[in-house]
Structures are given as structure tokens and as C-alpha cells.
Structure 1
Amino acid sequence: MLNAYGTANGCLTEFPATAAPAVPPDTVWLDLVEPTAEEEAAVEAALGIDIPTREELAEIEASSRLYQEDGAAFMTANLIRRGDNDQPESSPVTFIIKDNILITIRYHHPQAFPVYVKRAMKPQTTAMTGWGILISLLEAVVDRAADHLERAALIVDDTSKKTFGAKRALSGVHKQNPRRGVNLQQLIENIGEEGDFVSKMRESLVSIGRLVAFMQAISDQMRESKQTKENRARIKILQRDIVSLTDHATFLSGKISFLLDAVLGLISIEQNGIIKIFSVAAVVFLPPTLVASIYGMNFEFMPELHWRIGYPFALLLMVVSAILPFYYFKRKGWL
């Protein structure tokens, strides 16, 4: 799909689709979403550049995603979106600047794109040129990344409360079992999902940071000819935002690793508790079993067999031999 945009009265306007792929005059942004061969050929013929295909995007090395060719700047970064199943999806998106026209090539649908288009349809205070739209689009991507990280932070905090049982009674009495009804396996799955998402988000932010640094280098070369001071200032702010979000993603990764270790430790503690119960039960019932075994032997000369109180005596002995170890363990704090 080829979406062409122009500007009018400081707003972004979308050109109507045509039967045959074409680049309308006064275009400032061409958004190619899963483009066909005909659409790629039309853009290449109109702008005189070689657009990378989907296979070429997948094969591009991370060190070769930023380059200049045929008077155009090619910049590729991995962008993240949450799919229909809420799973993170990462895919490269290419940004091309040629003659102050922005071309974007993508094969998935990051939410930052429709959000920016909807917002840009209203009057803007920033320059509506190819460079200005590129910076605004990256600002929308970074804002979306911040929203994703905030959501991940909320999930991590909620998982932390379930793990460590932060709920306390208002009266100040000791809390009840804070993990009653908590599925530790589900907690591990949630932690794993958020850990995977934060890791991919951090990789995405690093690639966007490299892209913005490349833009800064190009803007320094262009000086006042094609890039305004306002855009250069926005690029610097964008760089600082990316650094802040990268640091936040690193912090969340560390917290997620800590939570994962904590949940695994809790699982180990619960397993040890179960084993301890079986061990104590075995020790408690061992003396009564010994007494029953002794008095279960059918020897002819066993004085207790002729006692009138022999049977109650054996039962009492078994009960006492079971209570004494249990009381001893309780005094020691082992139960």
C-alpha cells in the first residue's frame, strides 16, 4: 500500500489513492506499507533511488543500516508493537530522506504511525517538511515506547506485590498469608513475557538512538541550507529522551531479573516446606509404628498379652510417642 501525504495550511493532508501507483506533486511523505513491486518501482522512478526490499531489510547488518546513497539518506531501525495476542513484535522500518521528501518502508503496523497521522491532520507549530515530519514521527515512536515501558513497569510492580505480599491489615496486625491463591507459575510466565518485551524494547531504543545520532550528523553537515535550528534542537531533545528511556528499560530489566530470582526462591521454599511436612510426619509416626510392630508380634511369653489394660496401654503409648516428637519440633521452631 502506497500512502502519499502533502501539506496544506500547516496540516498534513493525504492524497487520494489512484488506480496506478504514482507519486503526486508536492508530496512530502510517502508511506509504503507492505509495498508491491509496482509501488516500489513507481517511487524509485519518481525519486531516482533504490528502495530496499523486505528480504534486503532482513539481511541488513546492524552496522549497515545507516548510509547515504544517490543523494538520499537511508536509516533503518527496529520498531516494537504489541500484536493482537499482546505479544511483542519487532520489525525493521526504513526511513529515507531524498530532496526533503520522507519515504517510510514498513512491513508491520506500529501504532505510532496512525497516532501521528491523526495528530498531524490538525494545524502544527513545527515545520511540515520531510525532515520535520521525520522528527515528529520519531517523537511519536519514542512517546509510544514510553507508554509501553510505563505499562511494563505497572505489570512489574503488580507482580512484585503478589510476590512479596505488600498487603497489610489497616489495624497493624500481622498480615495473613499474602500469597494465598497466587499461582507462582503464572507469575513466572508474566515475568518472562515482560522481560522479553523490555529486552526487545531496549534493543529498539538502541537502534533508534543510532538513527537519531546519524540524523544529527547529517544536520550538522547541512547547517542552515536545509535544516533549521529548530529541527536540530528537537533532535537533541529526542536524543535525551531516548537515553532516558534506555536507562529506564535497563532498570526494569534488572528489576525483572530480581523478581524472577525471588519467585524461583519462593517456589523452592514452598517445595522445602512440603518436604519438611512429610519428613516431620514420618518422624512423628515412626515411634507409634515401632510400638505397634512390637505388640503385633505373636510370641507366647509376652506379659502384656495377659494384661487387662494391655490394649489401652499400647494405644496410650503410641499416642504419647507421637505427641512427644511433635512437641519437641514445635519447641525448636521447626514447625
Structure 2
Amino acid sequence: MIKAFVVDNDRLRLADDLVANGDQVVWADLLNPTKEEEATIETWLGVAIPTREEMEEIEISSRLYIEDGAYFMTATLPAQTEIDDPLMSPVTFVLAGPRLVTIRYHEPKAFKTFPLRAEKVATGCTTGNTILIGLLEAIVDRLADILERAGRDIETISRDIFEARSTKVNKRNRDFQELLKAIGRKEDIASSIRDSLISLQRLTGFLAHVATQIKMSKDIRARIKTVSRDVLSLADHATFLSQKISFLLDATLGMISIEQNAIIKIFSVAAVIFLPPTLVASIYGMNFDIIPELKWELGYPFAIALMILSAILPFWYFRRRGWL
């Protein structure tokens, strides 16, 4: 699908047909383009656009390059960020003179919100350069919102880990399982956003070089620097969140280890407490003809009392030493 935008009273307006309005179109947005649509864009733009396989290559030379006077920039952006399983896919920006072409195979939210805003408000996005900067600013704002939400979720997980939980063992086990799953999901989000920010950091650095090379206006160069600083600060924040997630994972595993040690401790204490009574019962259970207490009327109560006493003494000793 091709969405073509033209400038109307300093606002972007969606054109009905790219071919019919070819001279006025300043931004063409390709979503899951077909071969025919790719050919149409290449004819209109005058340069070949990359295929999906070329967009997915990770080499810098394949993502940031100049060809036939056009500047190609590819970044990895997230979509479906409302859930904990974002879809990561590359998006290519092609800047050719006053025209901008974006090629994508998923729908990041910025590509929905930015055109709507540019249609209602005069944002100054009248050329490919300014549209690209405005689109990058919307993308960075969206990534900031995702990180803020992830940060709040991580704080909630942190409270769940260190606050008191149910006294029932099976309920605590379920709590730990849910915590580990939640930590894993947040780590996926943080790492995905960090990868996206790294690709944007490289893109803005390349764009700053392009702005100097083609002598963009001072205002545009200043906006590029601002976007670059925002991306860098968000990357640092994403790194901080990843470190905090690692800490919470270690803390959760430590709590699980403590729970396991407590269970093993209970079994160990029980074994020690019941060992002396077992020894007494074993002694009086031996099949010898001559046992002094065998004919004693108080032999049975004496053996029972001895077993009880031998169980109480170790328990009292452990409590006094603070082992229980």
C-alpha cells in the first residue's frame, strides 16, 4: 500500500493518487509494498529502493549509504508495543531532494500519530527534510513512552519481590513463577528498545553528516542534534532499566534459594529431632530374651517418656542457639 502526502496550507494532506499528484507529493509511505508498487515508487523517485531482505541486513554499510544522490537510512523500530511482545522490524527512510520515502513492513504507532497531527496542525513539515525530522521526533517520543511504562512496571515487580507474600508454599511458588515470567517479558522489551535506540543513534549521526553535506538550514541541524541527544539519553535509560531487571532477576533467584533453604532446614531439623526417639524405639524393639525393662510394669511409660524427652531436648537446644 502506498500513502502519498502533499502540502496544503503548511499541512500534510493525503493525496488520492501518487501518479496523478507526482509533482506535488513530498512524502510517500510504503506499507508491505508489492512489486508493482515498488516499481511505481522507483519510477517516481528515480532511484531503486531496497528490498525487505536488504533492509534486514545488519551491516552499517547496508543500512546507511548514499546511492544516485539519494540518502538511505534504516532503523529498527517496534510495533504492537501495547503488549509485552513487541514486533521489531526495520524501516527505511529514503531522502531524495525534497522528497521522502519510507518503506516498512509493520506499523509503528508514530506512523499513525504523526500524519494525523501534521494534517491538523501546521508543523512546518513541508519538505522531505522537515518531514523526516518530525517523524523521527515522533518515533523518539513513542520510545520514551514505552520506556516510561516499562519503568513503572519494573517498579511494580520490585515491590512484589520484596514485599511479604502468602504464607502458603504453593501460593509462593506460583508468585515466583509469575515474577520470573514478568521479569523475562520486561527484559525483552528493554533489550528491544535498546536495539532500536542504537540503530536510531547511528541514523541520526549519519543524518547530521548529511545535513552538513547538503547544507540544510541551521534550524534543521539544531533539531537533528536535539533528536540525537534525546536518543542517547533514552539509550542510557534503557541500559539502566536492563541493569535493574538483572538485579531483580538475581533478587528473585535469591528469594527462591532462601525458600528452598528454609524447606531443607525444616526437614533437617525434623530428622535431627526424631532421630533420638527412633534410637530409643530401636533399642527397646530388639529381640533379645533378656531386657531389664521387659518385665517392668512401668517399662512402656518409661520408654514413651524417654522418647518424648529425647525429642524435646534437641528442639529446645536449637531454639536456644537461634537456629529455629
TM > 0.5: yes
TM range (shorter): over 0.9
Instruction: Tell me if 1:291 matches 2:280.
Output: yes
1:300 positional shift: 2.2
Q: Which residue of 1 aligns with 2:26?
A: 28
Q: Is the 8 A contact 1:22 1:39 kept in 2?
A: no
Change (3 A) 1:72 1:184: same
TM-score (norm 2): 0.94
Alpha-carbon displacement from aligned partner over 1:151-171 (angstroms, at most 9, x marks no partner): 111111111111112xxxxxx
Q: Which residue of 2 aligns with 1:16?
A: 16
Q: Is the 8 A contact 1:77 1:207 kept in 2?
A: yes
1:82 positional shift: 3.2
**Match for 2:222: what amino acid?**
A
Alpha-carbon displacement from aligned partner over 1:12-45 (angstroms, at most 9, x marks no partner): 1101258xx7763300110000000000001101
Instruction: Tell me if 1:69 matches 2:58.
Output: no
State how far apart, in whole Å, the 2-side matches of 1:255 and 1:121 are: 40
State how far apart, in whole Å, the 2-side matches of 1:95 and 1:70 are: 15
Q: Is the 8 A contact 1:9 1:123 kept in 2?
A: no
Q: Is the 8 A contact 1:163 1:179 kept in 2?
A: no
Partner of 1:305: helix, strand, or coil?
coil
Q: Which residue of 2 aligns with 1:196?
A: 188
**Match for 2:100: what amino acid?**
L
Q: Which residue of 2 aligns with 1:300?
A: 289
Instruction: Tell me if 1:4 matches 2:25.
Output: no
TM-score (norm 1): 0.91
Q: Map residues 156-167 of structure 1 onto 2, 5 A cutoff.
A: 156-165=154-163
Q: Which residue of 2 aligns with 1:138?
A: 136
Change (3 A) 1:125 1:84: closer
**Match for 1:334: what amino acid?**
W
State how far apart, in whole Å, the 2-side matches of 1:112 and 1:71 are: 27
State how far apart, in whole Å, the 1-side matches of 2:46 and 2:197 are: 31
Alpha-carbon displacement from aligned partner over 1:81-111 (angstroms, at most 9, x marks no partner): 2367530221110000112111000011111
Selected match of 1:119 from 114, 117, 120 = 117
Q: Which residue of 2 aligns with 1:104?
A: 102
**Match for 2:12: what amino acid?**
L
Q: Which residue of 2 aligns with 1:173?
A: none
Q: Is the 8 A contact 2:22 2:44 kept in 1?
A: no
Give the alignment's Cα RMSD to 1 decimal.
Answer: 1.7
* Deviates most, 180-189 or 65-74: 180-189
Q: Is the 8 A contact 1:97 1:131 kept in 2?
A: yes
1:261 positional shift: 0.9
Change (3 A) 1:49 1:23: farther
**Which segments of 5 or more consecutive residues in structure 1 lack a partner in the other structure?**
166-176
Q: Which residue of 1 aligns with 2:264?
A: 275
1:298 positional shift: 2.9
Selected match of 2:209 from 217, 224, 234 = 217
Q: Is the 8 A contact 1:4 1:29 kept in 2?
A: yes
